[in-house]
Amino acid sequence: MSLTPAFTTDVFADVNKDIQSQDKKISDLKSKKGDLQSELSKLVSDMDSAQKKAKDLQADFDKTGKELKQLNKEIQEINERIKEREEVLKERARAMQKTSNSNAYLDVILGADNFSDLVSRVSAVNELVNSDKSILDDQQSDEAALKSKQTAVKKTQDKQRQAIADFEAQQNKIEAQKAEKEAVVAKLALEQAGAEKAKSNLVSERDKQAAAAAERARALAAAAEPTAGETVKSTNDTSSASSSSSNRTASAASNVSSSSNSGGGKASSAGSSSSSSSNSGSSVGSNTPAPSGSGYSAMIAAARAQLGKPYSLGASGPSAFDCSGFTSYAFRAAGISLPRTSGGQYASATKVSASQAKPGDLVFFNYGGGIAHVGIYVGGGQMINAQNDGVKYDNISSGYWARYLVGYGRVANF
């Protein structure tokens, strides 16, 4: 008995040391997770700020839309005035031709009957000349105003387009940082779970060893009791007296056991049959066919049905869209789920070259701050997309979009 403390120390020392090691590991992992959760909270706050900024940007966009509408109306009015003056000038030119040559005004003056008639005719000619000059001056003035307003429209559109691109790029960066930290948190959680399981196993093993040690201690203590031998003897006598009865009971139990085992075999067989049936059902489910060529038809039909609908930041339909909301909406009609942002869609897509691109692939753009726009390639250098002019077709092989095109991505094998 004097050896029991030393024995206990030897058995538990290493186990306790391992448990302490796991505790420290768990504590470290929790601390790292806490730091990352704080960083994630900041990113969520950044996302909220970005959403508020999006609302302000949308308000500016709506205001700009009204201004553009007014400018286009003014441009139309100027064009109509220019057309009217052109008709007056053409009519004046035709009248000049009918009087044979450019001396028509001179002929009018020389045809005067008297001095008073001459004055009247000169005055009339001057009025005609001044009228022509006024028409020409107004024409030049309106043409200059038209060019100025057209330049203003283009600048406003470019400014709006850049603001949307900047927002999209910022949103993608925040999403990427958030996803990265969430992945690390998930990894730490897995490590923590592993450490806690290892600790649990160590504690369980320590408890088993403690129970075994306690049982040995009780056995040693019982063996040291003065009455230990008498207790054993009394137990043996009782066992001998009931031996015959016990044998008969054991025989009956054996018969019952045999019958029970026979029934159990059937139950086992039924269970096996049930398992086989379950596996068969699982196999059928795994052979469900993937989307066929009809998937593209469903997707492109959904995309075309949105033509003309307005652009709105963060919108994913059906009344308005932003670029990635539109692509997500269209592909959802074919049973395909896409990440919400253009950056997420770019990351998940299999990149293909321009020569490999086919209708149904995604096409991505970068204005200098990361992926900031996405559309659906429809072939022939064209895409259908949601941009600040709404849902429409655009040429990506030349002009504005060609300057920012970065490549194609495949998210479905239509």
Q: Which residues are catalytic?
A: 323, 373, 385
Whether residue 382 contacts residue 394, with contact meaning beta carbons closer than 8 Å, is answered with: yes
